[in-house]
């Protein structure tokens, strides 16, 4: 959420940013919120004047009573009553106007970084860099669930009966591999100085609206019926929410956390849920990382975060690339974002396995995450990035480590988490 003062003083900048995000339907909101802000300031000034007038008249009433001028005092009392009525009217209008301002400000997109390429959607995202050599072996790479089924490692049929499409049972060595990747990711991030965290897996509505746009919320979140609680779609929401309504001493920044959690997503508008695959599903587990830092340090942390993911995948011998998200592919709160994509030998192309985002002070402004520094108070900047999200990682892992005889090689970094196994047969 932008600062209303910024919108008031830079309407053309805000409108140009909306155009870059191809959200022209939001352009009238800028003028509307500026008019509402003007009215809000007028109301406050009038209320302040009325209160000052009340104090002045109250003194006059006291003087009149002391002098025995009861009729004059009564007239003044009527004026006080009239002022009180007007103040009540204005206070009610002020409440309504501020609610309208907040509603509009929640949908006006954050100002994107100048380095973000302009484009309508993810088809116009820009490849930045490749890490590792993509290889297509001279033997067939089956569909990922076929590889899992050969190890009796997945049961989609039973999951369909129990929960429907978008769910799965992982079994045996494949289930163990899933847990090993998560455990390795945890230790990988701890070794990089992040504090490990297991957060709440449900959050209240004020946290949901503090960390994401209404459109994202509608497309992603499952609500608990009869409760002010939502199942988390990703653990960064719960971790950022940890700092709601806090004043952080500047010297304690940055705060760097890495978390494990299950994630639950409706995947609304996702062109359906795969019946036989595990790429897009309703439930999965993930290792995440977040940073709460000073504004001047957020871009430096952004670079560090996505590199963590690249380094993690490369330790498992999986080629990856980074993709800069264009303006039209950025969620409204994001300043800058990039995806990490893993190589698929079967498809002979890359596919998304993680996303890194700098949200500036948008989440902090909504959630009230402030910093107390030597030069005053200000809003923190927040960032998040996926370390790894099985089972998507399993797709990349199995395809890139499948051997000609059908066995799956276990890279050295993961072997301690698999009981010393060097391959799955």
Question: Which residue segments constitute the domains of the chain, with CATH numbers given?
Answer: 4-105 (1.10.287.40), 122-424 (3.30.930.10)
Q: How many residues in total does the chain contain?
A: 425
| pLDDT given at position 236 | 93
C-alpha angle with apex 300: 128 to 372, nearest 5 degrees? 150
CA 16 vs CA 19, 109, 337: distances in Å: 5, 11, 19
For 390, half-sphere exposure in the C-beta direction (CA atoms, 13 angstrom radius) is: 22
- Containing H/E element for 257? strand 255-264
| pLDDT given at position 124 | 97
| pLDDT given at position 268 | 58
Give the Cα separation of 64 and 39 in Å (integer). Answer: 37
- Judging by beta carbons within 10 Å of its beta carbon (0-12, 13-18, 19+), is residue 92 exposed, middle or buried? exposed
Give the Cα separation of 93 and 74 in Å (integer). Answer: 29
| pLDDT given at position 77 | 84
Per-residue pLDDT of the chain (425 residues; tens, 9 = 90+): 899 999 999 999 999 999 999 999 999 999 999 999 999 999 999 999 988 888 888 888 888 888 888 888 888 888 888 888 999 999 999 999 999 999 999 999 999 999 999 999 999 999 999 999 999 999 999 999 999 999 999 999 999 999 998 899 999 999 999 999 999 999 999 999 999 999 999 999 999 999 988 778 878 899 999 999 999 999 999 999 999 999 999 999 999 999 999 999 987 554 455 556 788 889 999 999 999 999 999 999 999 999 999 999 999 999 999 999 999 999 999 999 999 999 999 999 999 999 999 999 999 999 999 999 999 999 999 999 999 998 899 999 999 999 999 999 999 999 999 999 999 99
For residues 181 and 397, is the Cβ–Cβ distance under 8 A?
yes
Give the Cα separation of 159 and 23 in Å (integer). Answer: 40
Torsional sign, CA 56, 59, 65, 69: negative
**Greatest C-alpha distance within the chain:** 109
For 240, half-sphere exposure in the C-beta direction (CA atoms, 13 angstrom radius) is: 36
Structure tokens at 288: 């995440």
- Containing H/E element for 187? helix 172-190
Give the Cα separation of 45 and 94 in Å (integer). Answer: 11
| pLDDT given at position 98 | 96
Residue with tokens 């990382």: 289
- Judging by beta carbons within 10 Å of its beta carbon (0-12, 13-18, 19+), is residue 294 exposed, middle or buried? middle
SS3 content of the chain, % helix, strand, coil (to 5): 50, 20, 30
CA 391 vs CA 45, 85, 158, 170, 271: distances in Å: 58, 63, 18, 9, 19
* 178 CB-near residues (< 8 Å, 6+ apart): 170, 285, 390, 391, 394
DSSP state of 136: -
Structure tokens at 251: 């010297």
Give the Cα separation of 348 and 189 in Å (integer). Answer: 30
C-alpha angle with apex 343: 338 to 347, nearest 5 degrees? 120
Give the Cα separation of 394 and 413 in Å (integer). Answer: 15
Give the Cα separation of 201 and 196 in Å (integer). Answer: 15
For residues 50 and 80, is the Cβ–Cβ distance under 8 A?
no
Structure tokens at 330: 């950025």
Torsional sign, CA 346, 149, 166, 213: negative
Structure tokens at 144: 């990922």
Report the phi/psi class of residue 22: left, alpha or beta, with left for phi > 0 and alpha for psi in -120 to 50. Answer: left
Torsional sign, CA 275, 343, 261, 219: negative
| pLDDT given at position 215 | 76
Residue with tokens 């995202």: 125
**C-alpha Rg value of the chain to the nearest Å:** 28
Is the peptide bond prior to 391 cis by the omega test (within 30 degrees of 0)? yes
Torsional sign, CA 266, 272, 278, 280: negative
| pLDDT given at position 122 | 94
Structure tokens at 331: 């969620």
């Amino acid at each position: 959420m932008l600062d209303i003062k910024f919108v008031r003083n830079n309407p053309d900048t805000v409108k140009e940013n909306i155009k870059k995000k191809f959200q022209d339907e939001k352009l009238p909101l800028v003028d509307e919120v500026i008019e509402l802000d003007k009215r809000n300031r007028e109301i406050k000034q009038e209320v302040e004047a009325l209160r000052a007038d009340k104090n002045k008249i109250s003194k006059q009433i006291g003087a009149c009573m002391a002098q025995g001028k009861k009729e004059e005092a009564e007239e003044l009392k009527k004026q006080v009553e009239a002022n009180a009525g007007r103040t009540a009217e204005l206070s009610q209008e002020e409440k309504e106007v501020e609610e309208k301002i907040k509603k509009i400000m929640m949908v006006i997109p954050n100002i994107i970084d100048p380095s973000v390429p302009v484009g309508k959607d993810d088809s116009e995202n820009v490849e930045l860099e490749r890490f590792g050599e993509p290889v297509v072996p001279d033997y067939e790479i089956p569909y990922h669930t076929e590889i899992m089924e050969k190890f009796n490692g997945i049961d989609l049929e039973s999951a369909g009966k129990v929960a429907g499409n978008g769910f799965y049972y992982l079994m045996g060595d494949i289930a163990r591999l899933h847990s090993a990747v998560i455990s390795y990711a945890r230790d990988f991030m701890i070794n990089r100085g992040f504090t490990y965290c297991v957060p709440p897996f449900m959050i209240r509505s004020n946290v949901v609206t503090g960390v994401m746009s209404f459109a994202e919320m509608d497309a992603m979140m499952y609500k608990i019926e009869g409760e002010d609680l939502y199942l988390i779609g990703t653990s960064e929401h719960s971790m950022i929410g940890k700092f709601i309504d806090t004043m952080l001493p500047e010297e304690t920044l940055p705060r760097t956390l890495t978390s494990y959690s299950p994630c639950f997503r409706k995947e609304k508008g996702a062109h359906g849920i795969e019946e036989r695959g595990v790429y897009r599903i309703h439930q999965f587990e993930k290792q995440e990382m977040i940073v709460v830092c000073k504004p001047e340090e957020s871009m430096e942390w952004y670079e560090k975060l996505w590199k963590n993911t690249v380094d993690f995948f490369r330790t498992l011998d999986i080629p990856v690339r980074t993709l800069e998200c264009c303006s039209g592919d950025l969620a409204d709160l994001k300043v800058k974002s990039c995806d990490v994509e893993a190589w698929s030998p079967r498809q002979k192309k890359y596919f998304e396995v993680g996303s890194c985002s700098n949200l500036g002070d948008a989440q902090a402004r909504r959630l009230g995450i402030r910093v107390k520094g030597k030069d005053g108070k200000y809003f923190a900047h927040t960032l998040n990035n996926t370390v790894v999200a099985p089972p998507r990682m399993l797709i990349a892992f199995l395809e890139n480590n499948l051997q000609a005889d059908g066995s799956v090689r276990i890279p050295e970094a993961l072997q301690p988490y698999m009981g010393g196994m060097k391959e799955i047969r």
